[in-house]
Structure 1
Amino acid sequence: MARSHDYPLTLTWTGAGDEGTVNYRAYGRDHTLVAEGPPPLLGSADPLFRGDPGRWNPEQLLVAALAQCHMLSYLSLCARGRVVVTGYTDEAVGTMVESGDGGGAFTEVVLRPRVTVAAPEMVERAAELHERAHQLCFIASSVNFPVRHEPVILVAEPS
Structure 2
Amino acid sequence: MNRQHHYATLTRWTGNHGSGTLDYRAYSRNHVISSNGKEAEIPGSSDPAFRGDRSRYNPEELFLSSISACHMLWYLHLAAVNDIVVLEYEDHAEGTMEEDASGAGSFSSVTLNPNVVIAGTQVQRARDLHNEAGKKCFIANSVKVPITYAGSVSTLASSLPPI
Same structural fold, with TM-score higher than 0.5 when normalized by the shorter chain: yes
1:40-51 correspondence runs (5 A):
40-51=41-52
2:142 is matched with 142
- Indicate the SS of the match to 1:26: coil
Q: CA deviation at 1:54?
A: 0.8
- Distance (Å, rounded) in 2 between the aligned partners of 1:108 and 1:7: 26
- Looking at structure 2, the residues matched to 157 and 6 of structure 1 have their Cα atoms a distance apart, in angstroms, of 42
Q: Which runs of 4+ in 1 moved over 2 A?
A: none
* Alpha-carbon separation, structure 2, partners of 1:108 and 1:73: 21
- 2:54 aligns to what SS in structure 1? coil
Q: CA deviation at 1:157?
A: 5.2
* Number of the residue aligned with 2:66: 65
Structure 1 unaligned runs (5+)?
Answer: none
> Does residue 95 of structure 1 match 2:96?
yes
Matched ranges for 1:17-32 at <5 A: 17-32=17-32
Kindly provide the amino acid, as one letter, of the partner of residue 108 in structure 1.
S
Matched to 2:119, the amino acid is: A
Q: CA deviation at 1:115?
A: 0.5
RMSD of aligned residue pairs (Cα, Å)? 1.0
Deviation at 1:37, TM superposition (A): 2.4
In structure 2, the gaps of 5 or more residues are none
1:151 aligns with 151
TM-score by length of 2: 0.94
Quick one: percent identity of the two aligned structures?
43
TM norm structure 1:
0.96
Instruction: State whether structure 2 residue 123 is matched by structure 1 residue 123.
Output: yes
